[in-house]
Chains A and B, each alone.
Chain A
Amino acid sequence: MTPTAATPDAATAIDVSGLTRRYGAITAVDGLSFTVPRGQVVTVLGPNGAGKTTTLETLEGFAAPDAGSVRVLGLDPWRQSGALRPKIGVMLQAGGAHLSARAGEALSLVARCSANPLDTGWLLEVLGLGEVVGVPVRRLSGGQVQRLSLAMALVGRPELLILDEPTAGMDPQVRHLVWDLIRAARRDGMTVLLTTHLLDEAELLSDRILIIDHGRLLADGSPAELVAGSAPELTFAARPGLDLIELAGLLPADVTTAEPSPGHYRLTGQGISPDVLATVTAFCARNGVMPQRMHTGARSLDEVYLQLTGSQVRS
C-alpha cells in the first residue's frame, strides 16, 4: 500500500519534493527533492550560498516554500509548526542564546520547554561546558557557544536533530566529541540532518550525503556510492619535473600520467595494479627520489565535490 499525505510514511523522517524558495529575484532553493529515512545521519554539503540554510529553515517551519512540498515527521512544517517543533531539535547557525543569560540558564530555559528533558548538568559537563555554567553567553568562546547551541538542540530528546554547521569553530578534540555524540544519537534512534563544509566530517558520519549547489541537488548517495564509478588512481608527491614520458613508457597503455601541480603526480586508469605500483617505485628508485604520501584507490569525496560544485572560490 502506498502511503498518502494523510497517513505519513513511518519510515521517512523528511520528504522534500520540488522545494523552491525565492528571496526577491534570487532563487535560493530551486526544485530540490530528497528524502531522509528515519534513523539515518544525512549530511547536506554545498558551497556558501548553495541553499543549505534556506532548506533547513523550510524544514523547521521558519520559511514557507514558494513551490513544492515539505513533510517533516509527517507534518507540514509551515502550517503545523506547533505540533512539529517539540519533536525536532534545532541547532541554529547563530546560537540563539540571550547574551546576558548564563550558559546554564540559557540551556535550562530550553529544557523547561520539554516535559522530559535530558539532565542539563550532565549535558553541559559532557560537552565540556561544566566550568562555564555561570558564565554569561557573551563571554563564551565561539566553540563554547556552538556546544551550548548543540546542547539546546538535544536537551528535549527530539526524534529529529537538524544541525546547521554543528562543528564550525570547534577545535579538533571537540569536533571528535561531537562526532561521537552524533553517532550515539543515531545508535539510540534519532534521525540527524546536518550541514557542513568539512568533507571528512561528511564522509565519517553520514549514511548519505546530499551535494547541493545553486539550490539544486547535484548528487545523493552513500559516501561509498559517491566516490564509486570512477577509475582507480595512484597519487604521490616527489620532486617536481620527473620524466613522465619515460614513466608512461613503462606502464600499461590505459594508465595516464600527469603532474597536475609541481611535485604532485597522478596516475589514472583501470590498469592500475600492484605491478604498476612496483614499476613506479622502481622508477623513483632509479631517479633517486623518495615518493611521499603514496595513495591508491578511487577518487576522493573531495574531488567528487569539487568536480560537481566547481573549484572557484565563492564569497
Chain B
Amino acid sequence: MTQPAPTFPDGIFRPDPRPASAARMVLAAASTELRIQLRNGEQLLLAVVIPLGVLLGLTLTTVIDLDEPRIDTVTPGVLTLAVLSSAFTAQAIATGFDRRYGVLKRLAATGMSRSLLIAGKCGSVLAVACGQVLLIGVVAAILGWHPAGSWPFAIPLLLLGVIAMVGLALLIGGTLRAEAVLALANLIWLVLVGIGGVIVPLSSAPGWLRTVGGLTPVGALSDGLHAALNSDVVPSARVWLVLIVWTLAAWAATVRWFKWQ
C-alpha cells in the first residue's frame, strides 16, 4: 500500500537563510510597488488622466489666455504637474498607508534596510515618471509641440524635481498618520498647482506670485522647464539652486525622522 505524500516532506524546512543581493531586493520592491501603482485607478487618474486632460484642455480651448503656440506654453507645466502628482502626492499617500498597514515593517523584518526600501520607492517613482514624460511628450508632439534648442536641460531638471518631490513625499508619508498624510498631500498638491506655474507660466504671473511660486520646488521646476523647452537659454542658477536646496532639506529631514510604523 502506498502512503499519501506527507504534507511537509522531511527536510523541507531545513534552515538556509541567505539574503538576496541588495540589487535584487531593490528590484523586487520597485517592481512590486510599480505593479500595484499601475493597477490603482486613483493613482492612474492623478498620474496620467489629469495631466493629459490639462494638456488637451489648455491646448484645444482658448478659455485661458496663453502665449502662442499654446502647446509649447502648456507642455512644461503639464510635465511639472505629472511629476508633482506621482512623485509627491501619490508617493506620500502610498508611504503613509504602507506604514499604517505594516508593509514597511514587514519588509524591514525580511531584512530590507531603510536605504534599500527607499531606493526601491525611488526606482518605482522614476519608472512612473519616465512613462509619464514619454506619454505626455508623444501626445504633445501629436498636438504640434516643438521643444526648443536647450531641451536636454529638461532631463536633469526633471530628475532633480522627482528626487526633491520624492524626498518631500517620504518626509510627510514617513512621519505623519495616514489620514493626515492623505489630507496634507492633497492640500499641498492643490496649493502648488495654484502657485507653481503649472497652468499659467510664472513668467506671466504678478510679481509677488513669481517670487513666492519660484521658491517652491514646483515653481522652480516649471520655470526651468519653460526655459529649457521654449528657448535656447540655460535654465537660471536660481532654478537649480531652489531645487537643490529643497532636495537636500527634504532628504536630510527624511533620513532624520522617517519612521517604519
Q: Is the CB of A100 within 8 A of B105?
A: no
What 10 new A-B contacts, CB under 8 Å, besides A90-B109, A113-B112? A62-B105, A98-B36, A109-B107, A112-B24, A113-B20, A157-B13, A157-B17, A184-B13, A185-B13, A189-B15
List 24 A–B pairs whose Cβ atoms lie within 8 Å, in order of A's numbering. A62-B260, A86-B17, A90-B109, A90-B110, A96-B109, A97-B101, A98-B98, A98-B103, A99-B97, A100-B39, A105-B35, A110-B106, A113-B19, A114-B19, A114-B110, A115-B20, A116-B16, A152-B110, A157-B16, A159-B17, A180-B7, A188-B11, A188-B13, A189-B15
Closest chain-A Cβ to B261's Cβ sits at a distance in Å of 8
Inter-chain residue pair count (beta carbon < 8 A): 131
> If the complex has contacts A62-B260, A101-B36, are A188 and B14 also in contact, measured as CB distance less than 8 A?
yes
The one of A85, A100, A158 that contacts B108, using a Cβ cutoff of 8 Å: A85
- Asked if A96 meets B28 with Cβ closer than 8 Å, knowing A62-B260, A110-B110, the reply is no
- A165-188 interface mask toward B, CB cutoff 8 Å, 1 = contact, 0 = none? 000000000000100110011011
Verify if A94 is at the interface (C-beta below 8 Å from B). Answer: yes
Interface of chain B residues 172 through 219 with chain A (CB within 8 A): none
Q: Which size bracket describes the interface of A in this complex?
A: 35 or more
Q: Of the candidates B8, B32, B35, which one forms a contact with A180 in the assembled complex, judged by CB atoms under 8 Å apart? A: B8
A222 CA / B245 CA spacing, docked (Å)? 61
From B10, B28, B112, B113, A187 is in contact (CB under 8 Å) with: B10
User: A14 interface residue, CB < 8 Å from B?
Assistant: no
CA gap between A190 and B8 in the complex, in Å: 14
| A96 touching B106, Cβ below 8 Å | yes
Within 8 A of B (CB), among A94-147: 94-101, 105, 108-110, 112-116, 118, 126
Q: Are A184 and B109 in contact (CB under 8 A)?
A: no
Given A112-B25, A185-B13, is A92 in contact with B109 using a C-beta cutoff of 8 Å?
A: yes
Are A112's CB and B102's CB within 8 A?
no
Q: Given the complex of chains A and B, what is the CA–CA distance between A101 and B97 in angstroms?
A: 13
Q: Give the nearest-CB partner of B110 in chain A.
A: A113
| Most chain A beta carbons < 10 A, residue from B13, B27, B32, B261 | B13
Interface residues of B (CB under 8 A from A): 7-8, 10-21, 24-25, 27-29, 32, 35-36, 39-40, 97-98, 101-103, 105-113, 260-261
Q: Least Cβ distance of B246 to chain A in Å?
A: 29
Residue of B nearest to A100 (CB): B36
B13 close to A190 (CB less than 8 A): yes
By a CB distance below 8 angstroms, the chain B residues around A62 are: 105, 108-109, 260-261
Q: In the complex the two chains form, is B32's CB within 8 Å of A87's CB?
A: no
The distance in angstroms between the C-alpha atoms of A39 and B10, with both chains bound, is 15
A87 and B109 CA atoms in complex are apart in Å by 10
Q: Once bound together, how far apart are the Cα atoms of A126 and B9, in whole Å?
A: 11
Task: List the B side residues contacting A118 at CB < 8 Å.
Answer: 12
Docked Cα-Cα span, A177 to B6, in Å, equals 12
A156 within 8 A of B: yes
Q: Which residues of B contact A157 (CB under 8 A)?
A: 13-17
A92 and B106 contacting across the interface, CB-CB below 8 Å: yes
Known: A113-B28, A180-B7. A85 touches B15 (CB 8 A): no
Select which of A94, A114, A152 is within 8 A of B20 by beta carbon.
A114
